[in-house]
Structure 1
Amino acid sequence: MLAISYPQKNETVLIAGAGDVGIRAARRLVAQGKQVFALRRREVAPDPSIRWLRGDLTRPDTLRGLPQVDAVVFAPTPDARDEAAYRAVFVDGLRYLIDALPAPPSRTVFVSSTAVYGEHAGEWVDEATPTDPPGFNGRVLVEAEDWLASRGVGGISLRLAGLYGPGRTQLLERLREGKVSVPRGRRVFANRIHVDDAAAAIAHLLSLDVHESLYVGVDDTPLPIDELYDYLAGLLGAVPPLDGPPAAGIGNKRMSNARLRATGFKCRWPDARMGYAALL
């Protein structure tokens, strides 16, 4: 895979799909002195540092009049967890957005997912590993990544692992309630990244003069899921999870962020145990 030279400075950035990760990335970019536009379907509490735009990625008629920007961050969330909703946003919505811009952006970061990978029996997985998505979500994301790579818009796909952080506490609640089981002693790995590190990775990729077209966004420490969940249960004063089967449709793998770290990126929370402890 060839590295792409990109000498420009990304002074204007459009965040398409300004949810939790997108807004966190937007605020980082504003702090760097960028002019940031944020596109959402619904109204949001105003942030005077961000220029808010209203539009629906699945409806090209609502995308007229978008500003010309140097870079795009594409980070939407589908309305439903089914293939039609995913395709409408990630495949059709990406095309509609790029076509609606007055000029092609010089860089486009597509927020993808490690769901594009399959079962690897706990072995290391990185950007060179072939995709083999077990579910519709991964298949749709691969299609969108491939389309982006074929366009002259400086495409970068960032495949994020499981997000955690403020507001993402469902796992902790389930542990408190004793509703979690883990595959004990079977070396089934959990791959995580703190939501603030995910946002920082997006901003970092926009700053690179030379970049690859694909990065894995994960922390430095894939952990056996029973080790991570036992640690969290201890922090919560909860009973350790019972033994049970691994989650279906995910695949067992250890994700490597070596390519991302080689660009100079460092996670603030390189180990999910540290990140969860700080969250609690």
Structure 2
Amino acid sequence: MEAGKQVTAWYCQTRDMTVLIAGCGDLGTEAGLRFAAAGHQVVGLRRSPEKLPPEIHGVYADLSKGVPQLPADVDIVVVAVAADSSTEEAYRAAYLNGVKNVLDALERQSLEPRRILFVSSTAVYKDSGGAVVDESTPTEPTRFSGKILVEAEDLLFARTHGTATRPISLRLGGIYGPGRTRLIDQVRTGKAVIPAQPRHTNRVHRDDAAAMIVHLTTMEQVPDPVYVGVDDYPAEMGEVMQFLAAGMGCPEPPTAEPGGASDAGPGDKRCSNALLRASGFDFAFPTFEEGYRALLDGQGVRHP
């Protein structure tokens, strides 16, 4: 079969598929609603399935412990888990065990979905000193969170190698959006402090992150194995804080003394979304300005 006809065949098959979202929290629910709006059947696994909207068929699952019987016709799997706390144990239970248990369930039922997307993070990259980071940058995390995410990615790629399933790791930057207002609250209450040393912040609005999930799992062309999911502009943290202060009519946050606590953090890197853009993805919120302006205007709802 010619390559062009293969693409057409895949595109036709994406019109009405069964999508499994393992870890159907705020991000997973938003993605699920978008899949459903496109005409797909969506099943969401989570510990409180009764909270899911009617467009998503909720099923109880504690992904850190196991996965129940899956739909026999599942075409797309999205693993969008989140740790219960910022501890190594919680990260390992959520991300590594979550991926393993999903893969075990698929293997147990001899299922090979067309695509599996794992929601990872730019935490897999180390401090680059402000240099540009992309999919070709080696994953050399220095913190346990990034190391565990790399383990989960490696497990996904190893277990799907040689199968009909196409694995995708979507490395998201810091997600903000409805209900994710920590930085806004810090600026509003006067607790925000601009780092003494310039530090870039790689962000993505929740809605764009959900749209990326749908785009990469249903697009016509065969996806690459890894995508960096950030917006177009890796702004300095101080710039974001100043924008928020001006938008809320609050005093501008002070700048910290060099070497203070505000300079301790995940380091400085500028993540590039060039590969994602090249795949045909368009942002609703291409920079933090559009995204935070929408939040300040009260747009959007966080899913329970």
TM-score tier (shorter): over 0.9
Deviations 1:72-118 (A, max 9, x none): 00001122211111111211221111211321222100000011111
Distance in 2 of aligned mates of 1:191 and 1:234: 21
TM-aligned CA deviation for residue 169 of structure 1: 1.0
1:46 Cα deviation after fit: 4.5
Q: Which residue of 2 aligns with 1:83?
A: 88
Matched, 1:135 2:143: yes
Structure 1 CA distance for aligned equivalents of residues 152 and 263 of structure 2? 26
Structure 2 residue aligned with 1:149: 157
Summarize the Cα distance change of 1:33–1:278 in structure 2 as closer, same or farther, 3 Å threshold.
same
Structure 1 runs of 4+ aligned residues shifted over 6 Å read none
Identity %: 47
> Amino acid of the residue matched to residue 116 of structure 1?
V
d(CA) in 1 for partners of 2:210, 2:31: 4
TM-score normalised to structure 2 length: 0.86
Q: 1:258 aligns with which of 274, 279, 289?
A: 274
Query: 2:85, 2:291 → 1: CA distance?
Result: 29
- 8 A Cα contact 1:90 1:144, kept in partner: yes
Match of 2:176 in 1: 164
What's 2:70 paired with?
Answer: 66
Residue in structure 1 matching 2:45, options 25, 39, 44: 39
Whichever residue aligns with residue 208 of structure 1, its letter is: M
Cα deviation digits, residues 38-85 of structure 1 (max 9, x gap): 00012433522211111111222xx23221211100001122211111
After alignment, is 80-89 or 256-265 more displaced? Answer: 80-89
Amino acid of the structure 1 residue aligned with 2:228? V
Partner SS, residue 50 of structure 2? coil
Specify every segment of 5 or more residues in structure 1 that has no aligned partner in the other structure, as ranges. Answer: none
> In the comparison of the two structures, how many residue pairs are matched?
273
For the residues of structure 2 that align with 1:58 and 1:274, how far apart are their CA atoms?
A: 36
1:208 matched to 2:224: no
Distance in 2 separating the partners of 1:24 and 1:13 = 13
Cα offset, 1:36, TM superposition: 0.5
| Larger fraction in helix | 2
Deviation of residue 202 (structure 1)? 0.3
What is the match of residue 234 of structure 1? 246
Match of 2:189 among 158, 177, 180: 177
SS in 2 for 1:157: strand
Deviations 1:174-222 (A, max 9, x none): 11111111125x4321111000000000000011231100000000111
Letter in structure 2 aligned against 1:155: P
- Work out whether residues 161 and 218 of structure 1, in 8 Å CA contact, stay in contact via their aligned partners in 2: yes
Structure 2 unaligned segments of length 5 or more: list them: 1-5, 297-304
Q: For 1:46 and 1:111, locate their aligned partners in 2 and report how far apart those are by CA, in whole Å.
A: 20
